[in-house]
Amino acid sequence: MTASFHKFGEYFPGTGALQNVGADNGKNYAINFPLKEGMDDESFLRVYKPVMDEIFARFKPNAVLLQCGADSLSGDRLGCFNLSIKGHGEAVNHIKQKGVPVVVVGGGGYTLRNVPRCWVYEASILNGVEIPNEMPESNEYYEYFCPEYKLHLSISNMENLNTRDELEKTTNYLLDVLKDVDVATAQVSRSNYVNVRTSI
């Protein structure tokens, strides 16, 4: 099963429409959540968590491959979203709490100040280690983190074009799609895994 939360509409490569849910034996095993520009933490987590919870309830994956595209962070050169590092990391934490093996990989990310911060923070979540917001001065890369010298950065005032009604409608549509996933059939193979993409 695949689940993708991504920018959609007049955006390369133009795939991942809501109605693309797979075909034949793979029908209902491709979940696409198309999003508009300006997606923020609150809106993203409001749709991400119930969809992923239903995938776990219906498909019962034995493992998850989680692609964490840093291009969804606020201020990315190519990205159109407005997620904070903490909000992005909460998506990782939500999957970690499910208690199944997780392989986490990077994805997009085109602003140098964002990518290492994101990876460091999410590595700390995966390892259960709290790290300070202040960058240690005894770091040879310290100057790369100017002028804030902080792990977490402020988000922009970018307008969120994703309305609450649209997001709720899309969430409900996908939850209905997932109702057609046959739990018994999904469990025939003991190597079930979910590939989750949280990227633009």
Is residue 60's pLDDT more than 50?
Answer: yes
- Which pLDDT belongs to residue 71? 92
Do residues 107 and 70 make contact, with C-beta atoms less than 8 angstroms apart? yes
pTM higher than 0.85 for the full model? yes
| Rounded (5°) CA angle 49-184-188 | 105
- Which pLDDT belongs to residue 14? 63
- Which pLDDT belongs to residue 3? 95
pLDDT in tens, 155-172: 999 999 999 999 999 999
Q: Where are the domains of the chain?
A: 2-198
Q: What HEC string does 118-154 produce?
A: HHHHHHHHHCCCCCCCECCCCCCCHHHHCCCCECCCC
Phi, then psi, of 31 in degrees rounded to 5: -110, 120
User: In sequence order, what are the beta bridge partners of 63?
Assistant: 193
* CATH homologous superfamily for the domain 2-198: Histone deacetylase domain (3.40.800.20)
Average pLDDT in the chain: 89
Instruction: Give the β-pairing of 30-35 and 2-7.
Output: parallel
Dist. CA 64–CA 41, nearest whole Å: 22
